[in-house]
Structure 1
């Protein structure tokens, strides 16, 4: 199989428009595809904050296809290889401006979403729930499973371990010290860059970072060196406005972007 990998979250691909509320999420229709060497290498969100697509890690050719029968396939020849196991048949897909890649059924209900399958990173609006794990990459250029992981435990404690070890205190090298935080504790990242632990009663049991500005896109990543870090990516702000221009007896509305 060709050497390639999928990437979700290409930050700040373009500008953010002040007309965001008027922009509709473009649907990815059945039969659409992207490929590592093709004309279309990624699908983008409406405001171009995020993309779902490929980055090369070798030579070869690979295709992601939203098939006409509603399956999302990853294949080197379009003939085999199911990428995901959804809870139904997809009618269309979307890359949202949150960074979530979602499949919808014919009733526009979500049947699968990438936010439920984090790898090394969570972004704003995404959670790491009980028994979910983030794994570091092997290196900055090799995105295979690396040497470290961070786990959200059932007792409410967020703990870091080397990958090939047990989930015991003797193998842990960092923890959030929130053993008595309550049931169903989750790690959350909001749009203001606040990284916090939240339990099922709605109580925030611990803030891991301070409140920040919303002018950035934030992500929290288990890095290759085993340190869990919060990153910010500045967004370019583009403002669209209109001005009336007169030409003798005629006038036109002109659109400017700055």
Structure 2
């Protein structure tokens, strides 16, 4: 009897109703990383295409927006992406005073979304946008205005907005590459941490006209383009049927900006429908990490360590290399040096072995 009452109470707290195509989340609602008979792990959009809530990352869980209507939960947005995964003993609360927080196992809380007003409701929309509203039903926060590595249809990148790559498909922490909608009207790709100068960038596309008005846009039919008050510059033509097709633009962990499509009628995998042109496989600077360099084999890139170095992680060679010498070897103070021919060094990201005499 008590269990039934609790379930009915939770059902009343999370009211899913047809109101402008929204599923309404009210203060007092909460999620847990695993679904039980009385709790949910996510709040779905009306169609079930997207969901906001917990997803598996590494040995724990993260909070974000993901494609829920396909076999693999493809992540589109992540909250606090550089925080470590949380354990199963946490709760995501939409508190009675309108805060969206993680209640951690040791009793502390962590804001999932930061806004300056009191929230009265939230919604996971069918566009993939998670939105928080005030008492006047005005938007006070949305995931579309705080992108991580992905742009979804109807979402726009305004000037100075960025898409930062993730470490990998399975690790949504910030990676090494960035797509930025520049103030000069260009969408450009850079390694993270480098100045926004031509010599550091490795791809760009621009539009003539008022630069600060330029935006990067993705339509529901896969049309990817730059737009301002004077017109548009098409990057990927799109114009495809939208029936059963999903799209996402992602700044990938290898430094490439790619547009993907997914056919919900055929299932299968995401398919690349466009990739930034004129980029060589080894062009993204720093692709192979420190103490390594990039070479092309059979039209694909391959990372190779410098002589005397070994991969930090053999299964993920883009993480770079470290010396395969012991501390005792280093103290001896005698080392062999080998020349690497036909190699261009872009910077001094090398680790060295020092000893004092």
Judge conservation of contact 1:87–1:112 (CA < 8 Å) in 2: no
Tell me which residue corresponds to 1:43. 43
Q: Distance in 1 between matches of 2:255 and 2:109?
A: 35
Deviations 1:153-212 (A, max 9, x none): 00001100111211110000101143x34232110001111000011x1621x1000122
Q: Distance in 1 between matches of 2:111 and 2:29?
A: 15
Tell me which residue corresponds to 1:207. 234
Q: Distance in 1 between matches of 2:98 and 2:115?
A: 10
Tell me which residue corresponds to 1:88. 117
Number of residue pairs matched by the alignment: 214
Q: Distance in 1 between matches of 2:253 and 2:131?
A: 28
Judge conservation of contact 1:136–1:145 (CA < 8 Å) in 2: yes
Shift of 1:23: 8.0
- SS of the equivalent of 1:26 reads strand
- SS of the equivalent of 2:116 reads coil
Shift of 1:134: 0.4
- TM-score, with structure 2 as normaliser: 0.57
Judge conservation of contact 2:150–2:250 (CA < 8 Å) in 1: yes
Q: CA RMSD in A?
A: 2.0
Q: Which runs of 5+ in 1 are unaligned?
A: 1-20, 238-258
From 188, 191, 216, the equivalent of 1:162 is 191
Distance 1:162 1:22, change over 3 A: closer
Distance 1:22 1:63, change over 3 A: closer
Tell me which residue corresponds to 1:64. 92
Q: Distance in 2 between matches of 1:22 and 1:168?
A: 47
Q: Which runs of 5+ in 2 are unaligned?
A: 1-17, 61-86, 267-357
In the TM superposition, 1:11-160 aligns within 5 A as 24-39=21-36, 40-57=40-57, 58-59=59-60, 60-61=87-88, 62-77=90-105, 79-160=108-189
Larger of the two Rg values belongs to structure = 2
Looking at secondary structure, tell me which structure has more helix per residue: 2
- SS of the equivalent of 1:176 reads strand
Tell me which residue corresponds to 2:270. none
- TM-score, with structure 1 as normaliser: 0.78
Judge conservation of contact 1:221–1:228 (CA < 8 Å) in 2: yes
Distance 1:38 1:49, change over 3 A: closer
Q: Distance in 1 between matches of 2:118 and 2:100?
A: 10
Q: Distance in 2 between matches of 1:213 and 1:225?
A: 30
Q: Distance in 1 between matches of 2:138 and 2:99?
A: 15
Q: Distance in 1 between matches of 2:227 and 2:148?
A: 21
Which of 1 and 2 has higher RCO (CA within 8 Å, sep 6+)?
A: 1
Q: Distance in 2 between matches of 1:226 and 1:103?
A: 32
Distance 1:132 1:65, change over 3 A: same
Judge conservation of contact 2:41–2:54 (CA < 8 Å) in 1: yes
- SS of the equivalent of 1:81 reads strand
Judge conservation of contact 2:209–2:230 (CA < 8 Å) in 1: no
Judge conservation of contact 1:28–1:93 (CA < 8 Å) in 2: yes
